[in-house]
Structure 1
Amino acid sequence: MTTVPTDDAFAELHSRLGAKLSRAPGDLNAHGYDEGGSLQHYPPHAVVFAENEQDVVDTLAFAARHGVPVTPWAAGSGLEGNALPVRGGISLDVTRMNRVLRLDPDNFSATVEPGVLYPELSRLARPHGLFFAVDPGAEASLGGMAATGASGTGAVRYGTMRDNVLEMRVALTDGRVIRVGSRARKSSAGYDLKNLFVGSEGTLGVITQLTVKLHPLPATLASLRASFPTVESAVQAAVLVMGAGVRPERLELVDANTVQAVNAYKNTRYDETPTLWIELSGRDETDLQTQLNLVMDLCGETDGYGFERATTEGERLALWTARHHAYYAIRALFPGHRIQSTDVCVPIAELPGAIRETQRLLDAHDIHGPILGHVGDGNYHVSLHAPGDDTAAWARTQEVLKGMVAYAHGVGGTCTGEHAVGLNKRKYMRAEHGEALDVMRSIKQLLDPQGILNPGKIFPDE
């Protein structure tokens, strides 16, 4: 049971943390919103700007003594309300814990604090011929990415955060800091606690350190953009590419609405039709050209056209910047609208049907929702949007989302491939997990018996 903290209680925490504890209105306000565009504002009662692991441990000890909710916070780039302190209490901000503690090229790994942003790690690894492969697009923190089980454009080749986290240190509410996983690439020693905490959204413990994989930079790279007459034909091409033995670095879909938004936002002139963005790597230039030609042939089988190659680093950067900025482009095209960017994931062979059903739902409920996604692994996104005060329109968007999830569940998929559960997907957890959800509740009760860690997330109110 959580409680509302008193001024006297916060005086106790201030005596330990000093200026790291803030109750300034500006700090409280900033930690009550995230990128997800929630209609509600959830300011905490206080913000702790942790600078080291001991600050985290002390904050959790205080919270446990007083029954105060604690919600971990990093970059605030989540889209499902994952880091919003919906029951007040303390927003535990780890952005000052942003040191790369160890760069280990020989073991293809790096050990970092949770506030390190993933582009910064790749920048530091690049002189060693390495990079960090999980790329969600936003300037996300590695701790937050682990907590939400994030992935992104590189997942089709390199996997998600679950595949790229080797080891973590996690602070628990009872004062212990445990090590989960190991720096070895595999282990069969006991329960896989590491992957229990990856994706747990700060509801079981707070990540204070993590060791992640680094990957060699590809020898040669090229990107390809292809236009299609319909979204379905683009998705069919993606399925063909994945079935042909080609291992793309990235394989991304955007629909015509998204291209229109990108053109307006970036002043580009792409054909405003459904489009695949594809990145390939090769052993050498000959191998790379062979793959490019094969992919163009496969796209042509589903009426792909207007192929544009990007072979230099500058060309590829321009091409992928347009894709990464799609979310912000959609926001700019509809000023005053709240945007709920949501995702589902299905087995790849089911993807054409899933997107066809999503388009039907959007039309049936009169909702405009650009579609984009990481179609190489069956994960796609819809940017549902409407004016924030249009309650009727928002009720219809939720019917679209309900139908998307129902279809995904019906074909063996999941309500979220990478955004995590947060606030918006809790209602679908029982349908997805059945009695396994009760086991999850038991684990939550074991590790957080007072229910103070990020309350109001993952589990539905049943």
Structure 2
Amino acid sequence: MLTFDRPTEATVSSAVATLCKTYGERAVTSQSVREHHSHGEGMQDAGLPDVVVFPESNEEVASILKLCNQARIPVIAYGTGTSLEGHLKALYGGVCLDLSRMNRVLEINAEDLDCRVQAGVTREQLNADIRHTGLFFPIDPGANASIGGMSATRASGTNAVRYGTMRENILGLTVITPDGRIIKTGTRAKKSSAGYDLTRLYIGSEGTLGIITEIQLKLYGVPERISAAVTQFEDLPSAVNSVITAMQLGIPMARIELLDEVQMDASIKYSKLDGFAVKPTLFMEFHGTDAYVSEQIELMKSITAEHGASDYRFADKPEDRSKLWKARHDAYWAGMNYVPGKQAFSTDTCVPISRLADCVKAAKDEVAKSGLVCMIVGHVGDGNFHVLITFDPNSADERQRAEVAADRIAHIAIGMGGTCTGEHGIGIHKLDALKAEHGEAVDVMRTLKKALDPNNIMNPGKTIPMQ
């Protein structure tokens, strides 16, 4: 069993005073800064840290962790604040480590297709910094998230169907352990059989085992041709079944995104998508040589035509593609704007591709029972989709209905051989679903947590159930 008892106020006050003396204006206790760091983009339930510190080096992070470990004070890592599962809520107060000042690209190895960055580097910053090399980093979760946060949550996004997730694109890490050791995991080699795979252990650990401060990443050559296309369907099953067929035939799509009719209505209004109908829609992108892309497009056209799709609308110019994908990335905010004054749960299920249509239908049926305004959007090429379940935050009844619907959708996916979270992580909202998904294996996870963080100071109460 994991436990955590907040230290005495005197102990916390002494540690905060030490941090403020050591780091000066980079240790902040103002109410506004603490509130800003008390939650992510998901539920706005706040959990205020006692102090927010802005370290600038591995050594500073190590020093802070040593102090907190000795005083038994919680530590919560903060990147850009885009998480959705309550990862940033300071359940027991403590120290929030804002890594935004650790934002340097440390090395670019163009010949080997890799680079090393600090945790505070954002994905957009990285791609801007390496543009001159003809390379790019493909993982695109939508938000301009930090690479450290993306690593800690094992993020993926719209390009995962072709390029994989953060798990497949990280070669090694620098991690600061709870007792202040600076350790390196992995190498720049493409493979290794040396010892335990600590890199994969820390990827997706959500700040509960240590603080990721540096990441060695794979890079890719910018494709000769990139073409985006949109097609629409009369009903949701037709759109989903088109995706299933394409994936089973092995068409190497770069992106294939689904928006149901409700989400499309919201996105048309919010992102000014002129000329589109309020129908289930696929956003697609093809990468490769000119001939290869043309071949992929023709194959997809034949598949979608069999399911009654509309003619394709193409976006080949960079500015047109940017507008299209910005609309997709803004789907969450479009949904919030669609029902002003509401909050939302965003489910994050992922299933084997053959069960995708079944899971989407079951999710639709479940949200219909709730009587709430809901919409579906997803990276359906790898079986991952989200249901945005909106509710009135001032209505206990609506919130309960939203929570029940989200929980049932997670369990439906688990029952189909899938997972309760394809990319957002567990945080505090999916602890019960994790137990349903992994059973006795959760005890092994708890054992690892105890071994690596015996004082349970690293983001306590998240990711692994206490008991």
After superposition, what is the alpha-carbon deviation per residue over 1:339-361, rounded to whole angstroms, capped at 9, x for unaligned?
Answer: 22221110011000000000000
Asked if residue 210 in structure 1 is aligned to residue 191 in structure 2, the reply is no
Asked if residue 13 in structure 1 is aligned to residue 19 in structure 2, the reply is yes
Q: Which amino acid aligns with 1:287?
A: Y
- In the other structure, the counterpart of 2:388 is 383
- In the other structure, the counterpart of 1:287 is 292
Q: Given the alignment, which residue of 425, 430, 433 partners 2:435?
A: 430
Paired with 1:393 and 1:216, the residues of 2 have a C-alpha distance of 48
Paired with 1:308 and 1:20, the residues of 2 have a C-alpha distance of 50
Paired with 1:231 and 1:33, the residues of 2 have a C-alpha distance of 34
Structure 2: give runs of 5+ residues left out of the alignment.
none
How far apart are residue 268 of structure 1 and its match?
A: 2.0
1:79, 1:342 within 8 Å by CA — same for their partners in 2? no
- In the other structure, the counterpart of 2:269 is 264
Q: Which amino acid aligns with 1:117?
A: T
Asked if residue 189 in structure 1 is aligned to residue 194 in structure 2, the reply is yes
> Normalising by structure 1, what TM-score?
0.97
2:12, 2:73 within 8 Å by CA — same for their partners in 1? no
Number of corresponding residues: 460
Paired with 1:460 and 1:208, the residues of 2 have a C-alpha distance of 25
Q: Given the alignment, which residue of 156, 160, 165 partners 1:155?
A: 160
Kindly tell me: are residues 450 and 461 of structure 1, through their superposed partners in 2, closer, same or farther at Cα, counting changes over 3 Å? closer
1:423, 1:458 within 8 Å by CA — same for their partners in 2? yes
1:104, 1:110 within 8 Å by CA — same for their partners in 2? yes
- In the other structure, the counterpart of 1:250 is 255
2:39, 2:87 within 8 Å by CA — same for their partners in 1? no
- In the other structure, the counterpart of 1:198 is 203
Paired with 2:61 and 2:122, the residues of 1 have a C-alpha distance of 19
Paired with 1:193 and 1:248, the residues of 2 have a C-alpha distance of 31
Paired with 1:185 and 1:83, the residues of 2 have a C-alpha distance of 33
Q: Which amino acid aligns with 1:100?
A: V
Paired with 2:466 and 2:392, the residues of 1 have a C-alpha distance of 27
Structure 1: give runs of 5+ residues left out of the alignment.
none
Paired with 1:134 and 1:276, the residues of 2 have a C-alpha distance of 19
- In the other structure, the counterpart of 2:42 is 36
Paired with 1:207 and 1:461, the residues of 2 have a C-alpha distance of 23
How far apart are residue 245 of structure 1 and its match?
A: 2.4
Aligned pairs for 1:80-99 within 5 A? 80-99=85-104
Asked if residue 108 in structure 1 is aligned to residue 113 in structure 2, the reply is yes
Paired with 1:153 and 1:203, the residues of 2 have a C-alpha distance of 26
How far apart are residue 241 of structure 1 and its match?
A: 1.2
After superposition, what is the alpha-carbon deviation per residue over 1:283-319, rounded to whole angstroms, capped at 9, x for unaligned?
Answer: 22x3322221210110111111142112222222222
- In the other structure, the counterpart of 1:25 is 31
After superposition, what is the alpha-carbon deviation per residue over 1:135-163, rounded to whole angstroms, capped at 9, x for unaligned?
Answer: 00001000000000000001000000000
Aligned residue for 1:226, secondary structure, equals strand
After superposition, what is the alpha-carbon deviation per residue over 1:394-431, rounded to whole angstroms, capped at 9, x for unaligned?
Answer: 11112211221121111110110000000111111111
Paired with 1:6 and 1:179, the residues of 2 have a C-alpha distance of 30
Q: Which amino acid aligns with 2:445?
A: M
Q: Given the alignment, which residue of 370, 388, 405 partners 1:365?
A: 370
2:47, 2:91 within 8 Å by CA — same for their partners in 1? yes
How far apart are residue 15 of structure 1 and its match?
A: 2.9
Paired with 1:312 and 1:12, the residues of 2 have a C-alpha distance of 54
2:15, 2:68 within 8 Å by CA — same for their partners in 1? no
Asked if residue 392 in structure 1 is aligned to residue 397 in structure 2, the reply is yes
> Normalising by structure 2, what TM-score?
0.96
Paired with 2:133 and 2:111, the residues of 1 have a C-alpha distance of 10
How far apart are residue 461 of structure 1 and its match?
A: 4.4
Paired with 2:12 and 2:88, the residues of 1 have a C-alpha distance of 22
How far apart are residue 367 of structure 1 and its match?
A: 2.0
**Aligned-CA RMSD value:** 1.2
Aligned residue for 1:33, secondary structure, equals coil
1:340, 1:384 within 8 Å by CA — same for their partners in 2? yes
Q: Given the alignment, which residue of 64, 71, 76 partners 1:66?
A: 71
2:267, 2:331 within 8 Å by CA — same for their partners in 1? yes
2:39, 2:47 within 8 Å by CA — same for their partners in 1? yes
1:17, 1:55 within 8 Å by CA — same for their partners in 2? no
How far apart are residue 12 of structure 1 and its match?
A: 2.1
Q: Which amino acid aligns with 1:280?
A: F
- In the other structure, the counterpart of 2:232 is 227
Q: Which amino acid aligns with 1:262?
A: S
Aligned residue for 2:304, secondary structure, equals helix
1:80, 1:342 within 8 Å by CA — same for their partners in 2? no
Paired with 1:6 and 1:204, the residues of 2 have a C-alpha distance of 21
How far apart are residue 10 of structure 1 and its match?
A: 1.9
How far apart are residue 54 of structure 1 and its match?
A: 1.4
Q: Which amino acid aligns with 2:200?
A: N
How far apart are residue 9 of structure 1 and its match?
A: 2.7
1:180, 1:194 within 8 Å by CA — same for their partners in 2? yes
Identity of aligned residues (%): 38
Q: Which amino acid aligns with 1:132?
A: F
Paired with 2:180 and 2:329, the residues of 1 have a C-alpha distance of 40
Paired with 2:282 and 2:15, the residues of 1 have a C-alpha distance of 55
Most deviating of 266-275 and 92-101: 266-275
Q: Which amino acid aligns with 1:22?
A: V
How far apart are residue 276 of structure 1 and its match?
A: 0.5
Aligned pairs for 1:437-452 within 5 A? 437-452=442-457
2:345, 2:403 within 8 Å by CA — same for their partners in 1? no
Paired with 1:282 and 1:22, the residues of 2 have a C-alpha distance of 48
Q: Which amino acid aligns with 2:244?
A: V
How far apart are residue 267 of structure 1 and its match?
A: 1.9
Most deviating of 313-322 and 375-384: 313-322
